[in-house]
Structure 1
Amino acid sequence: MNKIGTISLSVLLLASMFLPCFVVAPVTAQTPEPIKVGVFAPFTTAGLSFYAPWTKQGFELGMVYATTEMGYDNENKTEAGRPYEIHYYDTQGSASGVTSLVTSAIETDGIDILVGGTYSGIAAAIAPIAEEYKKIYFITPAADASLTAANFNPYIFRIARNNWQDAYAGVTYAMDYLNYTKFGFLACDYSFGYSGVDSMKTVIQEKGGSVISIQYAPLTATDFSPYITNLKNADAAYDIEYLFIIWAGNFAYLYGDLATYDLASDMEISGACIDILSMNVIEGSLTPPATYVGSTGLCLYGYQLPDNEVNDWMVAEHVTRNIQPDLPYFTFNAPELFTASAFATAQFLVNVTNAVPDLDTNLMINHLESNLTIDCPKGPTFLRPDDHQGLAEMYIAEAWRDNVTGSETEGFIIAKLVETLDRFDVAPPIASGYTPGGFAPATTPPLVLDPLTLTLIAGAGIAVIVIIGVVWFRKK
Structure 2
Amino acid sequence: MSTIASSLIFPAIASAQDIKIALITGKTGALESYAKETETGFMMGLEYLTGGKMEINGRKIKVILKDDQSKPDMARTLLAEAYGDDRVDLAVGTTSSGAALAMLPVAAEYKKILIVEPAVADAITGDKWNRYIFRTSRNSMQDGLAAASTIKGGGSIAFLAQDYAFGRDAVKAAKESLAMVGSKANVVHEEYAPQNTTDFTAAAQRIFDALKNKPEPRILQIVWAGPNPMNKLADMKPERFGIALAPGGNILPVMKTWKNYAGTQGTIFYYYDFPKNKMNDWLVSEHTKRFKAPPDMFTAGGFTAASAVISALSKAKSSDTEKLITAMEGMEFDTPKGKMNFRKEDHQALQAMYHFKIKKDQKNEWDLLEMVKEIPASEIPVPVKNKR
Please give the TM-score of this superposition, normalised by the length of structure 1.
Answer: 0.74
Q: 1:437 matched to which residue of 2?
A: none
In the alignment, structure 1 residue 193 sits paired with structure 2 residue 197? no
Contact 1:44 1:90 in 2 (8 A): yes
Alignment match, 2:304 = 344
Distance of aligned partners of 1:238 and 1:401 in 2 relative to their CA distance in 1, 3 Å threshold: closer
Question: In structure 2, which of residues 53, 57, 72 is the aligned counterpart of residue 75 of structure 1?
Answer: 53
Q: Which residue of 2 aligns with 1:315?
A: 284
- Matching residue of 2:251: 275
Match of 1:387 among 328, 337, 346: 346
From 33, 39, 43, the counterpart of 2:23: 39
1:52 to 23, 28, 35: 35
| Deviation of the 1:300 alpha carbon | 0.8
Asked if structure 1 preserves the Cα contact closer than 8 Å seen for 2:145 and 2:178, the reply is no
> Matched residues in 2 for 1:397 and 1:282: separation?
13
213-222 or 203-212, larger mean C-alpha shift = 203-212
Distance 1:155 1:262 in 2: 48
Q: Deviations over 1:95-147 (max 9, x none)?
A: 23222222222222222211121111111111111111111001111111111
Alignment counterpart, residue 421 of structure 1, candidates 361, 375, 379: 375
Structure 1 residues 197 and 106, CA, compared in 2 at 3 Å: closer, same or farther?
same
State how far apart, in whole Å, the 2-side matches of 1:223 and 1:54 are.
28
Quote the residue 1:21 is aligned against: none
* Structure 2 match to 1:359: 319
Q: RMSD across aligned C-alpha pairs, in angstroms?
A: 2.1
Q: Kindly provide the CA deviation profile for residues 279-307 of structure 1, in whole angstroms up to 9, marking residues without a partner as x.
A: 12455xxxxxxx13332221110000001
3-state SS in 1 of match to 2:88: coil
Which structure 1 segments of 5+ residues have no match? 1-29, 69-73, 284-290, 326-331, 405-409, 435-476
Pairwise CA distance, 1:355: 3.2
Alpha-carbon distance between aligned partners in 1 of 2:90 and 2:201, rounded to the nearest angstrom: 44
- Out of 88, 105, 108, the position equivalent to 2:85 is 108
Alignment-derived partner of residue 4 in structure 2: none
Which structure has the larger Rg?
1
Equivalent of residue 265 in structure 1, options 207, 226, 240: 240
CA distance in 2, matches of 1:427, 1:205: 12
Rounded Cα–Cα distance in structure 2 between residues aligned with 1:392 and 1:205: 21
Relative to 1, partners in 2 of residues 1:31 and 1:357: Cα closer, same or farther, differing over 3 Å?
Answer: farther
Counterparts of 1:186-225 in structure 2, within 5 Å, are 186-206=160-180, 207=182, 208-225=184-201
One-letter code of the match for 1:313? Answer: W
Shift of 1:401: 6.5
Q: Which one-letter code corresponds to 2:350 in the other structure?
A: L
**Candidates 106, 112, 137, aligned match of 1:160:** 137
Q: 1:243 Cα deviation (Å)?
A: 1.1
Distance in structure 2 (CA, Å) of the matches to 1:413 and 1:278: 13
Cα 1:151/1:31, change in 2 over 3 Å:
closer
Identity over aligned pairs, percent: 29
Query: Counting strand residues as a fraction of each chain, which structure ranks higher?
Result: 2
2-side partners of 1:303 and 1:343: how far apart? Answer: 13
1:193-217 Cα distance to aligned partner (Å, 9 max, x none): 1221111101223413321111111
C-alpha deviation, 1:180, in angstroms: 4.1
Find the residue that maps to 1:420 and give its secondary structure.
Answer: strand
User: Structure 2 length as normaliser, TM-score?
Assistant: 0.89
- In the alignment of these two chains, the number of paired residues is 371
Distance 1:302 1:41, change over 3 A: same
Q: 1:295 corresponds to which residue?
A: 264
- 1:357 offset after TM fit, Å? 4.3
Which residue of structure 2 aligns with residue 127 of structure 1?
Answer: 104
Equivalent residues of 1:401, 1:412 under 8 A apart: no
Q: Specify the alignment match of 1:444 in structure 2.
A: none
Q: Which moved more, 1:292-301 or 1:144-153?
A: 292-301
Structure 1: how far apart are the matches of 2:163 and 2:335?
32
Residue matched to 1:465:
none
How far off is 1:334 after superposition? 0.7
CA distance in structure 1 between the aligned counterparts of 2:316 and 2:39, rounded to whole angstroms: 24
Give distance in 2, aligned partners of 1:282 and 1:196.
Answer: 22
2: distance between equivalents of 1:397 and 1:255? 16
What is the one-letter code of the residue matched to 2:44? L
CA contact (8 A) 2:358 2:368 kept: yes
Match of 1:13 in 2: none
Q: Hey, what's the Cα distance between the residues in 2 that align with 1:91 and 1:376?
A: 26
Please tell me whether residue 335 in structure 1 is matched to residue 295 in structure 2.
Answer: yes
- CA deviation map 1:154-202 (0-9, x unaligned): 1110111111111111111133xxx443211111111111221111101
| Cα distance in 2, alignment partners of residues 282 and 220 from structure 1 | 20
